Amino acid sequence: MKVIVIGGTGTIGKAVVKELQQRHEVILAGHQSGDIQIELEDNASIEKMYQTNPGLDAVIATTGRVHFAEMSAMSAQDYFVGLNSKLMGQVNLVLIGQHYLNEGGSFTLTSGILSHDPIRAGSSASMVNGALDSFVRAAAIELAKNLRINVVSPTVITESMSTYGPYFRGFEPVSAARAALAYSKSVEGAQTGQVYQVG
């Protein structure tokens, strides 16, 4: 298959690329690095990615920004960071990509454990992750051309504990390689509308 991994140079993305490139043609897309550059918050950039990479069988998104802060310090603009980037960036990958993917292709998005196991300072991430989980379930019943869509919802990643560890006290991290298996299951399997919880 021809697979594009958006965020393929990040912690989870690198592991996903390593897992899938053993069997498939994998294209890395990143904000500033990778085989191609994409701005997730710019629909023209998303459209250009699809137009310049025809014949895609699978699109994976392992990227998207959210703002972590105590709710008492959050502003509407802080919430819009996650809404514009992680939520609508991934939703727009599907809205635009449904017209470009090959018959029977798949989308795999990324949410996270905070959709159902919230933490202090994580209300933005919880909101966005929950919305992504719900979007995938709904989109799965409407996509044409036998397209499939799933979302991976990982807990905190072991390799990211130096940055995010203080937010996730009491959570058992999982390796990026373990999380990558869920993306493989989504791309290479047959299920749709699933939320794959990792950890």
CA angle in degrees (0–180, nearest 5) for 159-9-16? 70
Confidence label for 87 from pLDDT (cuts 50, 70 and 90): very high
Tens of pLDDT along 127-172? 999 999 999 999 999 999 999 999 999 999 999 999 999 999 999 9
More confident residue, 33 or 119: 119
Confidence label for 177 from pLDDT (cuts 50, 70 and 90): very high
- Homologous superfamily of the 2-198 domain (CATH): NAD(P)-binding Rossmann-like Domain (3.40.50.720)
Q: What is the pLDDT of residue 187?
A: 98
Q: What is the mean pLDDT of residues 2-21?
A: 97
Q: What is the pLDDT of residue 77?
A: 97
Q: What is the mean pLDDT of residues 165-188?
A: 97
Q: What is the pLDDT of residue 172?
A: 96
Tens of pLDDT along 38-85? 999 999 999 999 999 999 999 999 999 999 999 999 999 999 999 999
Instruction: Estimate the crossing angle of helix 88-97 against helix 43-52, to 10 degrees.
Output: 40
Q: What is the pLDDT of residue 130?
A: 98
Confidence label for 186 from pLDDT (cuts 50, 70 and 90): very high
Nearest-angstrom CA–CA distance, 154 and 111: 7
Tens of pLDDT along 15-38? 999 999 999 999 999 999 899 999
- Residue type for 74, please? M
User: Domain extents for the chain?
Assistant: 2-198
* Residue in this structure with the two tokens 């051309």, named with its chain if needed: 145
